[in-house]
């Protein structure tokens, strides 16, 4: 499945999504769509900022979309208070580069655990060139091989593979949830 096909499938799911007022946390609002992607030139600039080339699928994702057109919503189950999160779902680079650095630091502080998870998933962790924070606790693992694009979820030393490719990550985040 291509990124553009997945984009349409996720947006179709968002048309039918219901906001729950009986659970904590931010949720995607009904009829949310992805915002337009960025240019190849802007992606090249981001690669210079990070210091390495991105995987092909991540470049395709950035060309296709960058975030949501509506803020996330949270309804407090106890009192019905509504809050909105106006930040972009995905880190909005280059503007949030500094804001996202904490996740790379967290990975570096738990590097042995990260390597273990990546190796256990069948990847050669010795070929990692870096990490790109994508959303909250999710980070793209960047390898020398630009055909690889696994995503890990990191909360301290609690690290899991959240998708063996960025496509499977997006499915896990938005379709299978």
**What pLDDT, on a 0 to 100 scale, did the predictor assign at position 92?**
87
Q: CA distances (Å), 123 to each of 2, 79, 151, in order?
A: 22, 47, 12
**What pLDDT, on a 0 to 100 scale, did the predictor assign at position 94?**
86
**Angle at the Cα of 131 (from 130 to 135), degrees rounded to 5?**
170
55 pLDDT more than 80: yes
**What pLDDT, on a 0 to 100 scale, did the predictor assign at position 176?**
87
72 pLDDT more than 80: yes
Q: Is residue 85 very low, low, confident or very high in pLDDT (cuts 50, 70, 90)?
A: confident
Q: Both ends of the chain: CA-CA distance in Å?
A: 18
**What pLDDT, on a 0 to 100 scale, did the predictor assign at position 44?**
97
DSSP states of 87-122 as a string? Answer: S-SS--TTTTHHHHHHHHHHHHHTHHHHHHHHHHTT
State the Cα–Cα distance between residues 48 and 13, nearest whole angstrom. Answer: 35
- Please report which helix (H) or strand (E) contains residue 129, including its range: strand 128-135
Which domains are assigned to the chain?
3-175 (3.40.1580)
**What pLDDT, on a 0 to 100 scale, did the predictor assign at position 163?**
97
Percentage above 70 pLDDT, the chain: 100
24 pLDDT more than 90: no
86 pLDDT more than 80: no
Do β-strands 158-163 and 82-85 pair in parallel, antiparallel, or remain unpaired? Answer: unpaired
- Sequence length of the chain is 177
Q: Which residues contact 33 (CB under 8 A, 6 or more apart)?
A: 11, 14, 68, 69, 70
């Amino acid at each position: 499945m291509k990124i553009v096909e997945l984009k349409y499938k996720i947006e179709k799911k968002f048309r039918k999504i219901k906001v729950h007022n009986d659970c904590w946390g931010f949720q995607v609002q009904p009829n949310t769509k992805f915002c337009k992607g960025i240019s190849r030139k802007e992606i090249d600039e981001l690669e210079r900022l990070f210091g390495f080339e991105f995987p092909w699928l991540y470049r395709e994702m950035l060309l296709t979309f960058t975030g949501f057109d509506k803020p996330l919503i949270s309804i407090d189950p106890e009192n019905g208070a509504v809050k909105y999160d106006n930040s972009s779902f995905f880190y909005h680079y280059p503007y949030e580069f500094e804001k996202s650095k904490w996740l790379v630091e967290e990975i570096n502080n738990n590097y042995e655990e990260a390597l273990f998870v990546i190796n256990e998933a069948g990847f050669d962790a010795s070929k990692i060139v870096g990490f790109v924070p994508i959303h909250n606790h999710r980070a793209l693992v960047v390898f020398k091989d630009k055909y690889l694009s696994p995503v890990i979820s990191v909360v301290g030393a609690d690290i899991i593979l959240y998708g063996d490719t960025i496509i499977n990550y997006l499915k896990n985040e938005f379709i299978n949830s």
